[in-house]
Amino acid sequence: MRHVSGGYVGRILEVDLSSERVEVSPLDERLARMFIGGKGLGAKILYDSLKPGVDPLSPENPLIFATGPLTGTEAPTSGRFAVVTKSPLTGIFLDSQVGGYFGPELKFAGYDALVIKGKADSPKYLLIRDDEVEILEATDLWGLTTVQTVQTIRERHGDRRLRVASIGPAGERLVRFACIAIDHHLQPERGGQAGRGGAGAVMGSKRLKAIAVRGTGRVEYARPEEFREAVKRAVDAINSNSFIPIRRRYGTPLWVGPMNEMGILPTRNFQRSTFERADEITGETMRERIVVSDRACYNCPIACGKYSEVRSGKYAGTAVEGPEYEVIALMGSACGVAPIEAVARAAQLIDELGLDGISTGNVIAWAMECYEREIITSEDTGGLDLRFGNADAMIEMVRRIAYREGLGDLLAEGVKRASEKLGRGSERFAMHVKGMELPGYEPRGSFGMALAYATSDRGGCHQRAWTVRAEIEGKLGPRFSIEGRAKFVKETQDERAACFSLVLCDFAPLEVGHFVDMLNAATGFDFSEEEYLRAGERIWNLTRMFNVREGVSRKDDTLPPRLMEEPLPDGPGAGNVITRDMLDRMLDEYYELRGWDSNGVPTPEKLKELALSELISDLPRG
């Protein structure tokens, strides 16, 4: 085994909570070259260590925190890492990309990845300080919010610079879309969440309340001068980009107004695509009324994070990082709720209780539609008037979901399971793909997102291929067309898989050449741009094979019935529907471009081409 040097620190930390065994193993250079780090490295560890069919909430499911070769370096936006596991929400592959400062700190402590297995016999937390790794009692922490957990651990160890990943009450109660919170919103630096797919529930199933880390090391570079020159070119590209000042001023909420105008803002559980009160929840309104300061992740020149406070009125006392666009879209327009102060209060509660904001807003919006259709009644809601637009009812339902109280216990299972259990036609407007609740972009107003949602490796997700901007700017031809979408989605998925393995941020407006130059100089590798993108394709095929091994095929690459049967009633896309024929045509082209068969399964030839021959034995028979 050849060991890596440069960019990586060369070590993987494994903690078995059942036996309380702690081991450190070297990172194989071959794995680093093939899968880079972050998402790719985590996916490879997960694939090799988990048999198909295992319950995601069982001790056998590993929880992996994986950095990349650029995490914690001088590269811009290098504060990110990936959390990888099998999702309790979808039952398939999950990676969540996270910012803040935890990832670099794990690297400084001397680890490229942390792999957690087993289940503790009582609540525990990990304390990692360089080579010293302790498994400590957390019974007194169980039940605390994420903010309380971080504050208590830092005070206990007398170290305000400890970086802490923790779960809230939602993760403890195995809410299937519970998140892992990174630090908290009251600190001056930016935190984050491993939000989507329920990684917090996996952590809760292991009775692991938190991971605290502090490192004193540093990341070395194979070719230091060349690396710093590559970094300078990347920083210059970011600072000279005309869109960055807008993103810096408004953060992701900058998209609320444009999405509403373009008929892409999901409203009242995706029944409509424009919201009549959108001007009360836009980025401009948020900046004017509640934003206090800008925040940045580790070594980020963009500073898109917004710290917000509500200082008067009904929701006075609210303090939160954000809310981000996705939370505004799902807790705001999708639930028919305004003003921004109400959304901010919901966002604060989501963060402190440890929930994914997208899934929470989505499943509440579904429940609101069920209530208005009289599929559920006030008796089911415990007296809550759960109509669209009732902000206080929405906020209370957030709490009930986290604590699995009343109807919240059903909603905590996610919209797919909840709708299947409730029945009475509610499945037809349960807005998910493969069990993951859809985010804040209406596919009938952006056809490429239909294919992106259908083929995402973790279920309904916008981050693997975001087609929206390219479509509304006309870069893919006519806006309401399926032509060219398959190629764009495939190529974007491959490129993002590589970037999420480095790990750098979605929002950095960099070209592939920037990524490759920094990767090569940091590690000493000699990737061409083609080889780098091929690594991304390899990673994408690996995660597809994980899902194929769990039974996923073309039948699962589909959309909610609402999108395929109900014409959009408003906005520029009024009358649009994603028909079965449209989706099938895009899937056929997409599978062909990928070298997969007509059922969406990678062929033996494609796996051989990508140096994944060892996976051929896992292909379905017959």
Name beta bridge partners: 213.
128, 163
Residue 292 has pLDDT above 60, yes or no: yes
Report the C-alpha gap between 501 and 519 in whole angstroms: 11
User: What size, in residues, is the chain?
Assistant: 622
Helix (H, G, I), strand (E, B) or coil at 482: coil
Cα separation, 191 vs 306, in Å, equals 11
Per-residue pLDDT for 187 more than 70? yes
* Cβ-Cβ contacts under 8 Å for 183 (sequence gap 6 or more): 100, 101, 102, 150, 163, 164, 189, 191, 192
Any residues with CB less than 8 A from the CB of 230 and at least 6 apart, and which? Answer: 514, 517, 518, 521
What does the pLDDT read at residue 273?
Answer: 98
pLDDT tier at 1, thresholds 50, 70, 90 = low
Consecutive H or E run containing 78: none
Distance of CA 185 to the CA centre of its chain: 18
pLDDT at 184: 86
The CA distances from residue 237 to 113, 248, 303, 504, 564, in Å, are 30, 15, 15, 15, 41
Helix (H/G/I), strand (E/B), else coil: 55: coil
Sign of CA dihedral 204, 208, 210, 216: negative
Confidence band, pLDDT 50/70/90 cuts, at residue 3: low
Burial class (CB in 10 A: 0-12, 13-18, 19+), 362: buried
Helices (H), 473-610: 485-502, 512-523, 529-549, 561-565, 580-594, 604-609
Which token pair is 44? 């490879």
List the end-to-end C-alpha distance of the chain, in Å, as a whole number: 37
Partnered with residue 208 across adjacent β-strands are 124
Nearest to 308 by CA among 329, 294, 296, 298: 294
pLDDT attached to residue 290? 98
Q: Are 559 and 430 in contact (CB under 8 A)?
A: no
Task: For residue 567, give the 3-state DSSP assignment.
Answer: coil
SS3 breakdown of the chain: % helix, strand, coil, rounded to 5? 45, 15, 40
- Average pLDDT on 292-301 reads 94
What contacts 24+ positions apart, CB below 8 Å, involve 224-229?
226/521, 227/73, 227/74, 227/518, 227/521, 227/522, 228/74, 229/521
Residue 621 has pLDDT above 90, yes or no: no
Q: What is the largest CA-CA distance in the chain?
A: 68
CB atoms within 10 A of CB 179: 34
Q: Judge contact between 67 and 113, C-beta under 8 A.
A: yes
When pLDDT is cut at 50, 70 and 90, the band that residue 422 belongs to is: very high
Chain centroid to CA 606: 28
CA distance 482 to 408: 39
- Which structure tokens are listed for 611? 């140096």
Q: What is the mean pLDDT of residues 176-187?
A: 92
**Confidence bin at 189 (pLDDT 50/70/90):** confident
Place of tokens 């069982």: 58
Q: Give pLDDT tens digits for 27-51.
A: 999 999 999 999 999 999 999 999 9
Q: Could you give the CA distance from residue 89 to residue 177 in angstroms, rounded to a whole number?
A: 6
Q: Name the band, by pLDDT with cuts 50, 70 and 90, for residue 186.
A: confident
Q: Which contiguous run of DSSP H or E holds residue 282? A: none
Q: What is the mean pLDDT of residues 607-622?
A: 95
Q: What is the pLDDT of residue 571?
A: 96
Over the stretch 338-351, which tens digit does the pLDDT of each residue have? 999 999 999 999 99
pTM over 0.95: yes
Q: In whole angstroms, how large is the CA radius of gyration of the chain?
A: 23
Q: Does 2 have pLDDT greater than 70?
A: no
Retrieve residue 593's tokens: 């471009």
**Stretch (H or E) spanning 397:** helix 391-403
609, HSE (Cβ side, Cα atoms, 13 Å) = 12
CB environment 415-436: b (16+ within 10 A), e (fewer): bbbbbeebeeebbebbbbbbbb
Give me the mean pLDDT over the 69-85 stretch. 97
Which of the four pLDDT bands, split at 50, 70 and 90, describes residue 622? low
Range in 57-66, 148-157, 187-196, 292-301 with the lowest mean pLDDT: 187-196
Q: Which helix (H) or strand (E) holds 320?
A: strand 319-321
Q: Phi/psi zone of residue 600: left (φ > 0), alpha (ψ -120 to 50 degrees), beta?
A: left
Element (H, E) at 180: strand 180-182
Q: What is the rounded average pLDDT for all residues in the chain?
A: 97
Ranking 161-165, 188-192, 296-300, 430-434 by mean pLDDT, the lowest is 188-192
Residue 207 and residue 122 in contact, taking contact as beta carbons nearer than 8 Å: yes
Residue 474 has pLDDT above 80, yes or no: yes
**Residues 532-557 pLDDT 10s:** 999 999 999 999 999 999 999 999 99
